[in-house]
Amino acid sequence: MFPIFLKYKQHATYFKINSSNNFEELRIVGNFFNLTVHEASILPDRVFIADLLDDKGERLEKVSTQEFNEVLADCYKTKIEKFF
């Protein structure tokens, strides 16, 4: 089942869900990007992961492993990594 790759439909935020307790978030804003690894150590974090997987608001779309990796590689080549 895991990993699962998702993307918000309205903006450039990608998710790689590794398990029910761990995910990576790739946020792209202009010429900057941030890749953050999240460990779900508290209930709100686990609920957020469950919400991503359920997507009842239909705000996400599935992407392929290849697309996620290509976007990430492009970020490292053409953008500046920044923490935000």
| Per-domain residue ranges of the chain | 4-81
What is the model's pLDDT at position 75?
98
Q: What is the mean pLDDT of the chain?
A: 96
Closest of 24, 16, 15, 35 to residue 75, by C-alpha: 35
| 33 — pLDDT class (breaks 50, 70, 90) | very high
Joined tokens for residue 21: 């307790």
Residue 57 has pLDDT above 90, yes or no: no
- Residue 9 reports pLDDT greater than 90: yes
pTM of the model: 0.93
User: According to the model, what pLDDT value does residue 28 have?
Assistant: 98
Residue 84: the pLDDT is 80
DSSP line for 12-78: SEEEEEEETTEEEEEEEETTEEEEEEEE--SHHHHHHHHHHHH-TT--EEE--HHHHHHHHHHHHHH
